[in-house]
Structure 1
Amino acid sequence: MEILIVEDEREIAEIIRECLEAEGFVCQVCYDGHSALQLFAERQPDLIVLDLRLPGMDGLEICTQIRQKSVVKDPYILMLTSRGEEIDRIIGLSTGADDYYIKPFSPRELVARVRALLRRRLRESNQSQVLRTKTFAIELEQHSVSRHLDGDSTELLDLSTSEFKLMALFLKHPGRVWERAQLIEKLWGDDFFGEERVIDTHIARLRKKIEPCPSNPIFIQTVIGVGYKFEDS
């Protein structure tokens, strides 16, 4: 599997590269945001180790741009920073980072975190045609979504194409916070023209079909000031 390392401190970048290559990963290194986006487009890595504080374009902007791109596979993003305030973690995760690690770091733990994220990739590839949570199951090839009811019974949900895409996206990334613009990009890409708030209408319609009480949702939750996330705990 291939990893892109984006770190402006060359000594730290080299330490990360050596640790990961010693574990058998193929690594590419760059030191600024523009180079990171170019390498991402060329290489389509499985995972990105991304420093938050970069000169020019910072890690938050890089993360946001990557998440807005239509790609075959979304990379996992492990964000690094020397700051540990909670607000940084919230902002970093809200822009699409999958994990967050504070410098100075232990190389052994960094490798462990990378391996944990990439194990998710292997599980997803092995089960790519069926996505499951506690309550829902999506069969991608059959374009069907079912909901588990009491006992062993299930209910097949009647979803529109956009609603199905939303559910598939949510089930692939449970717990991840999505901005409206990110959801629009994933659903319609460059073909969308209009207001971002249109996604609220699609969310409202989907809630009516999957939530026990749409006015008090438990699955598709609103993250105030950011967007939405899906939970099925």
Structure 2
Amino acid sequence: MKNKVNQAINSSEWDMNEMSTTVSNAYYKPLDNSINILAGILADGFFYNREATHEERLTRIGTIIGHEITHAFDTQGSQFDKDGRAVNWWTNDDTTAFMARTTKLTQFYGALTPYPGALSYGASVSGEAIADMGGVKCMLGLASKKADFDYQVFFKAYGELWRQKNTYAVEEAIAEDVHPLAFLRVNVTLQQFDAFNEAFGIRSGDGMYVAPENRIMVW
């Protein structure tokens, strides 16, 4: 690393300092504007499985790739340009509109807790929440091109993707993470989409319904 100081950047070099390639994970790196899909996540058998349906593949690995792409346009990624430089590349109007949408999302999450008396949070998860919604929206764009796409299978697989069973104590600890709690990561994300509401016949008055004017999808 010392030998790289003040040297030309090699954009094709694999950065092994971030995470081992055997880890079942993926990440976006704003400093070089790269999307990194580690081999471990493709070999897992759950996130990517040749035997899975088209809908399940779009959910389990597709939404994750879309999630990482969206990080380039979240509260952190938006501060770096295509070359990874920390410069303002947005117009003032775009920045103002983005921050207004992000504030609405933050306030929505800030009002949610896993159980009565638990800590609330909002701003700390905004980047990951934006990326979750962006990832789903990317895959729904692909789904719209297939006439016989099974939206129920797609959305149910999304619930399976993030499902967890935790004690209250564990939920409190996880709440310190930059990712939304798992049940919020599913429910709040999917509430924002017309396709989800239509697939399950969700209407005003139902527990999962959010009126269009109150939805918080940033992109």
Using the size of structure 2 for normalisation, the TM-score is: 0.33
Larger relative contact order (C-alpha < 8 A, sep ≥ 6)?
Answer: 2
Using the size of structure 1 for normalisation, the TM-score is: 0.32
Kindly indicate which of the two structures has a greater share of residues assigned to helix: 2
